Structure 1
Amino acid sequence: MGIQDIIEGKKQWRAHTARVKELPPDYQIVYREMQKYLFKVGPVDLPDGPLLPGIVDFFEEGVAAGKGVLQLVGDDVAAFCDDLVKDSRTYADVYQESLSGAPGTAGQ
């Protein structure tokens, strides 16, 4: 990863967070909680993948349709997040694989 990749990644992240800040306050709160949850249990490719920008797209469509954020995601936000990543490889999967690997390979 070169310096240009890092700079481009920062630009993309700043543009992403600017989009989040344009959402209504209730959407921002739910987004931030989803983000925290997904960074803890989410997929390995979360920082570089399309999931977080996709959530913002989904929320922007909900705002345009005049829906409340809980109408979109439901009352159990964690369950909604789990549904989003159910087919993705998570850090928990990587950890489980390291534990069930061949003897002497854990921690490599």
Structure 2
Amino acid sequence: MNLWETVTGSDLTREWKAFEARAAALPAGHREAWEQIKAHLYPYSDFSGRNLMPIFDGALGLLEETAADGQDVRDVLGDDVAGFCAALAGGEGARSHRDRWREQLNRNVARKLARLGG
């Protein structure tokens, strides 16, 4: 990966298109699970989404393996796809971008209040 790809995100676009091509080959139930996984993992993304690419790759690989073995997707993921995704992203307490923004806002407000009061 070179600097230009990093700046423009073209490497992510290529990788994402490869993910979608792999997902298109999955059975219908597994494709639906892929869509749910994407929706539930996005809140854990950083600004570019680069931090989630290995997680997406692993989750898609799991879906591919279970489809090849003929397993039902519910047997693997369970009924709580959101919980599964939270565990993939680092546990139930994993911080999302909203949490980081909230913490940053609280720090900035606390600094301003300290300047006004001190």
Answer yes or no: same fold by TM over 0.5: yes
**What RMSD, in angstroms, separates the aligned Cα atoms of the two structures?**
2.5
User: Offset of 1:92 from its aligned partner?
Assistant: 2.6
- Larger Rg over CA atoms: 2
Task: Note if 1:69 corresponds to 2:73.
Answer: yes
User: Offset of 1:35 from its aligned partner?
Assistant: 0.6
User: Offset of 1:3 from its aligned partner?
Assistant: 5.5
CA 1:10–1:97 in 2, change beyond 3 Å: closer, same or farther? same
CA distance in 1, matches of 2:47, 2:76: 24
TM-score w.r.t. the length of structure 1 is 0.78
Residue type at the aligned position of 1:47: G
Which residue of structure 1 lines up, in the alignment, with residue 98 of structure 2?
92
CA distance in 2, matches of 1:45, 1:51: 16
Which residue of structure 2 lines up, in the alignment, with residue 58 of structure 1?
62
CA distance in 2, matches of 1:54, 1:22: 16
Residue deviations 1:6-57 (CA, integer Å, cap 9, x gap): 4333222111110011111101111101211221x22327722311111101
Residue deviations 1:46-104 (CA, integer Å, cap 9, x gap): 72231111110111111122111111100111111111113554213312321331424
Task: Note if 1:103 corresponds to 2:111.
Answer: yes
Structure 2 unmatched ranges of 5 or more: 113-118
CA distance in 2, matches of 1:12, 1:30: 19
CA 1:45–1:20 in 2, change beyond 3 Å: closer, same or farther? farther
Task: Note if 1:23 corresponds to 2:29.
Answer: no
Which residue of structure 2 lines up, in the alignment, with residue 2 of structure 1?
4
CA distance in 2, matches of 1:57, 1:76: 19
Q: Indicate the SS of the match to 2:85.
A: helix
Which residue of structure 1 lines up, in the alignment, with residue 82 of structure 2?
78
